[in-house]
C-alpha cells in the first residue's frame, strides 16, 4: 500500500527563518537518532550558505508524520535567487509562506507569494519569531492579507490558514494565546490544507527535471516530481530535450528521500519526488517519459535577467600566478556548465573569444557565481555590472526595483536625499517606536549599483537594505554617479609603509604595506574627483643617524577591506575586478581591452 503524500515548499523573504523552521520540523519528525549531533541550518549544506547565513540553492528533504510522507523543499529568500523558487514551485501542491512577526511582508515576500498564487497554490501563512521583542503577530497577518488582495488572490486563497511560530524555540500554535509546545500544529496544518498530488499512476510516465546533482559513482543525477505514471529501477525511459529530441536510456538507479538521506528504491508512482540516474545529458525543465508514448511537460519558464557583466580572461601583469584555470576555453566551459543548473543565468559570446557576456538577476546572483568559481581555482576579470534594457510596446524601458530601507531615524534625511539623486521615488514611510524608520522606494535598478556601500556610510552600519525586481518602466534619464577618483599604482613592486604614510593625505587605501602591486592597479580612493598615479613602492633612504623613537608610534589609517561584493559595486565603467583564488584586485582597463 502506498503512503499518502504531501509536497510542500517553504517560501519567504531572506532571514525570516525558513531554514530554522525546517530544522525544527526535521528534529521533531524523528529522522535524527537520539544523541546525534545536528548542526543549525542543517539544510544549508553549501560552504557559502553557511558563511553568509543565507540559502542559495533549493533543497528537498522528506519526513514521516504518522502515515503520511511529507516532502519539504527549502527555497532561497533573496530576490537574486528567485529562479530557484520558480523552478521548484512546479514540484509542490502547497506552500508555507513565512513572515517575520516584527518586519511583516518584505520585498521578496511579494515576489515569492506572487509566483505561488500564479501557480494556483493556497499558502499556509506562518508568522515566525513571535518571541522577539516588539513583535506584532496579528498586525503581520493583516499586512499579509493586504498583500494577498493587492496581488489579485482569489477568495479561496485570501481565506488562508495561519499559524504563529518560533523556529528557534521549536514550536508552532494556532492561536497566539495558546502554549507553544512543539511543531505538531504545523504538521497538522500541512495535512489539512495541502492537497495530495493529483497525478495518475495509470498514465504514461512523466517526470520534470527540476534539480541536477552529480555523483562520482552514478554520474549526473536528476531530481524531479513524478507527475504521472510509475517508474521502476532498470526500466527503459526516454528524455524529451528542450528542442524536442527524444533520447532513450535506462534508469540505472532510482533513489527516494528519507530525511536528509537518499535511499535506493525499486519503484515510485505519481506524486513522489525521486532522484534518477541514467540520463547524462538531462537539463532542467526537460521531461523523462515513456519511450513508447512520449509526452513532454511544458518547459519551466523563469523571469529574464536584469543585470549583466562581462567575464574576461585575466591579462594583468600577475596573470596565471595564483589560479589553476586561466584560459578562455576553461572559462567558457565553466560558464556553460553553470547554465545546466542555474536557470536564471544567461551566457552569450562576444566579438572577442576571451570575453563572455553573463546576465543574472542581480549583483548577489552574479557575485555568488564569481565567488564559487574563484574557490574552484578559476582566475579571470569582470567588468562593472550594467542593467539590461528592453523594448516594451516600442518604447525603451529599464528594470525598476522595489527598495525597502530600515534605518535609524537620524539617517532618514540622508538616505532620502541620496535615493532622490538616484531617481528613486518614495512610496511609503513608517516610523517605528524604537527610533527606527522603514522607507519604501521604487528606483531604477541602475540607481542601486554602488549604493550599498554609500548606504552603510549614511547609516553608520546600522541600516538594513532589501530590494527585489518590480517591473520594466520607461527610461528615467541620466543618473549622476558621484564617486571620487581613484589612486593608481605607478609601477610594479611591493607597497611600503613609508610610501603609504606619505600619501595618506591623498585619500584612503585598499591595501596594506607588503602588498604586491602593478602599474595600473587601483590601490585606494582619491580625495578629489580625478584619478591620481602614486609611487607606493618608494622606500625610506637610510642614514647612519638614528632618531630616538622616530618611527615607533607612527601608524597608518585602517585600509578599506574590498570584499567581492563591495568591489563589484565600487568599480567604474573603465575599471575591472581581477578575481583569483587568493586575491581580489581592482585595476584600470588595459589599452587593449579599452579599444574593444
**How many CA atoms within 13 Å lie on the side-chain side of 280?**
5
Q: What is the C-alpha separation between 211 and 58, in angstroms, rounded?
A: 8
- Using alpha carbons, select from 156, 56, 22, 127 the residue that is nearest to residue 361: 56
Angle of helix 412-421 relative to helix 451-458, nearest 10 degrees? 160
User: Is 15 labelled as part of a ligand binding site?
Assistant: yes
For residue 376, CA distances in Å to 50, 211, 322, 373, 379 come to 17, 21, 12, 5, 9
φ, ψ dihedrals at 333, nearest 5°? -60, -40
* Cα separation, 510 vs 571, whole angstroms: 13
130 is in an annotated binding site: yes
Phi, psi (deg, nearest 5) at residue 476? -100, 5
All residues at 6 or more sequence positions from 79 whose CB lies less than 8 Å from its CB, including other chains: 14, 107, 108, 111, 361, 362, 466, 467, 468, 469
Provide the b/e sequence for 456-467 (b: ≥16 CB within 10 Å).
Answer: eebbeeebebbb
Q: Is 129 annotated as a binding residue?
A: yes
First to last CA, the chain: 66
Is 20 annotated to bind a ligand? Reply is yes
Please name the helix (run of DSSP H) or strand (run of DSSP E) that holds residue 147, with its range, or none. Answer: helix 137-150
Distance CA 536, CA 494 (A): 8
Instruction: Give me the residues paired with residue 564 across strands.
Output: none
Asked whether 377 and 582 are in contact (CB, 8 A), the reply is no
Q: Does 17 carry a binding-site annotation?
A: yes
All three cell numbers of 58, joined, read 533549493
Q: Is 68 annotated as a binding residue?
A: no
Q: Which residues contact 263 (CB under 8 A, 6 or more apart)?
A: 255, 256, 257
CA 405 to chain centre: 19
131 is in an annotated binding site: yes
Q: How far apart are CA 33 and CA 261, in angstroms?
A: 13
Give me the DSSP letters along 173-188.
ESSTTSPP--SHHHHH
Confirm or deny that 19 is annotated as ligand binding.
yes
253 is in an annotated binding site: no
What's the rounded Cα separation, in Å, for the pair 374 and 455?
Answer: 27
Taking a C-beta distance cutoff of 8 angstroms, is the pair 353, 328 a contact? yes
The annotated binding site is made up of 15-20, 128-131
The annotated binding site for GTP is made up of 15-20, 128-131
Amino acid at each position: 500500500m502506498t503512503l499518502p503524500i504531501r509536497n510542500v515548499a517553504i517560501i519567504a523573504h531572506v532571514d525570516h527563518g525558513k531554514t530554522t523552521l525546517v530544522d525544527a520540523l526535521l528534529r521533531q519528525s524523528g529522522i535524527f537518532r537520539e544523541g546525534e549531533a545536528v548542526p543549525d541550518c542543517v539544510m544549508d549544506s553549501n560552504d557559502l550558505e553557511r558563511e553568509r547565513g543565507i540559502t542559495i540553492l533549493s533543497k528537498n528533504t522528506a519526513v514521516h508524520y504518522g502515515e503520511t510522507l511529507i516532502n519539504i523543499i527549502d527555497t532561497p529568500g533573496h530576490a537574486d535567487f528567485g529562479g530557484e523558487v520558480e523552478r521548484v514551485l512546479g514540484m509542490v501542491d502547497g506552500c508555507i509562506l513565512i513572515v517575520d512577526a516584527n518586519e511583516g511582508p518584505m520585498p521578496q515576500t511579494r515576489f515569492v507569494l506572487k509566483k505561488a498564487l500564479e501557480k494556483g497554490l493556497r499558502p499556509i501563512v506562518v508568522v515566525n519569531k513571535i518571541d522577539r521583542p516588539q513583535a506584532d503577530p496579528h498586525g503581520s497577518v493583516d499586512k499579509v492579507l493586504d498583500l494577498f488582495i493587492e496581488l489579485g488572490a482569489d477568495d479561496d486563497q485570501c481565506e488562508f490558514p495561519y499559524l504563529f511560530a518560533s523556529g528557534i524555540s521549536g514550536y508552532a500554535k494556532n492561536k497566539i494565546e495558546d502554549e507553544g509546545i512543539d511543531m505538531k500544529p504545523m504538521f497538522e496544518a500541512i495535512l489539512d490544507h495541502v492537497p495530495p498530488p493529483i497525478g495518475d499512476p495509470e498514465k504514461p510516465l512523466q517526470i520534470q527535471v527540476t534539480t541536477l546533482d552529480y555523483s562520482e559513482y552514478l554520474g549526473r543525477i536528476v531530481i524531479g516530481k513524478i507527475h504521472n505514471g510509475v517508474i521502476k529501477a532498470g526500466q527503459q525511459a526516454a528524455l524529451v530535450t528542450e528542442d524536442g529530441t527524444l533520447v532513450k536510456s535506462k534508469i540505472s538507479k532510482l533513489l527516494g528521500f528519507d530525511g536528509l538521506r537518499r535511499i535506493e528504491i525499486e519503484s515510485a508512482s505519481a506524486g513522489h519526488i525521486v532522484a534518477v540516474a541514467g540520463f547524462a545529458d538531462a537539463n532542467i525543465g526537460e521531461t523523462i517519459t515513456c519511450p513508447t508514448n512520449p509526452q513532454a511537460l511544458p518547459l519551466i519558464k523563469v523571469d529574464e535577467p536584469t543585470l549583466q557583466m562581462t567575464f574576461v580572461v585575466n591579462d594583468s601583469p600577475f596573470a596565471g600566478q595564483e589560479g589553476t584555470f586561466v584560459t578562455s576555453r576553461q572559462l567558457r566551459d565553466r560558464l556553460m556548465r553553470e547554465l545546466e543548473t542555474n536557470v536564471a543565468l544567461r551566457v552569450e559570446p562576444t566579438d572577442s573569444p576571451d570575453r563572455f557576456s553573463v546576465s543574472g538577476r542581480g549583483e548577489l546572483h552574479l557575485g555568488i557565481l564569481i565567488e564559487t568559481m574563484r574557490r574552484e581555482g578559476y582566475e579571470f576579470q569582470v567588468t562593472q555590472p550594467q542593467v539590461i534594457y528592453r523594448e516594451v510596446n516600442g518604447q525603451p524601458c529599464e528594470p525598476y526595483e522595489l527598495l525597502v530601507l530600515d534605518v535609524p531615524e537620524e539617517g532618514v534625511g540622508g538616505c532620502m536625499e541620496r535615493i532622490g539623486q538616484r531617481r528613486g521615488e518614495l512610496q511609503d514611510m513608517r516610523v517605528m517606536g524604537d527610533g527606527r524608520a522603514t522607507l519604501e522606494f521604487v528606483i531604477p535598478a541602475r540607481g542601486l549599483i554602488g549604493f550599498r556601500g554609500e548606504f552603510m556610510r549614511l547609516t553608520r552600519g546600522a541600516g538594513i537594505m532589501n530590494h527585489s525586481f518590480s517591473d520594466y518602466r520607461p527610461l528615467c534619464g541620466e543618473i549622476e554617479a558621484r564617486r571620487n577618483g581613484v589612486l593608481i599604482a605607478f609601477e610594479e613592486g611591493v607597497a611600503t609603509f613609508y610610501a603609504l604614510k606619505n600619501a595618506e593625505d591623498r585619500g584612503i587605501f585598499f591595501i596594506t604595506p607588503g602588498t604586491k602591486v602593478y602599474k595600473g592597479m587601483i590601490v585606494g580612493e582619491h580625495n578629489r574627483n580625478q584619478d591620481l598615479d602614486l609611487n607606493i613602492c618608494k622606500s625610506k633612504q637610510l642614514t647612519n643617524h638614528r632618531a630616538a623613537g622616530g618611527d615607533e608610534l607612527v601608524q597608518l589609517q585602517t585600509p578599506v577591506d574590498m570584499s567581492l561584493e563591495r568591489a563589484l559595486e565600487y568599480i567604474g565603467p573603465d575599471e575591472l575586478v581581477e578575481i583569483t583564488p587568493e586575491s581580489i584586485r581592482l585595476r584600470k582597463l588595459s589599452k587593449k581591452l579599452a579599444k574593444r
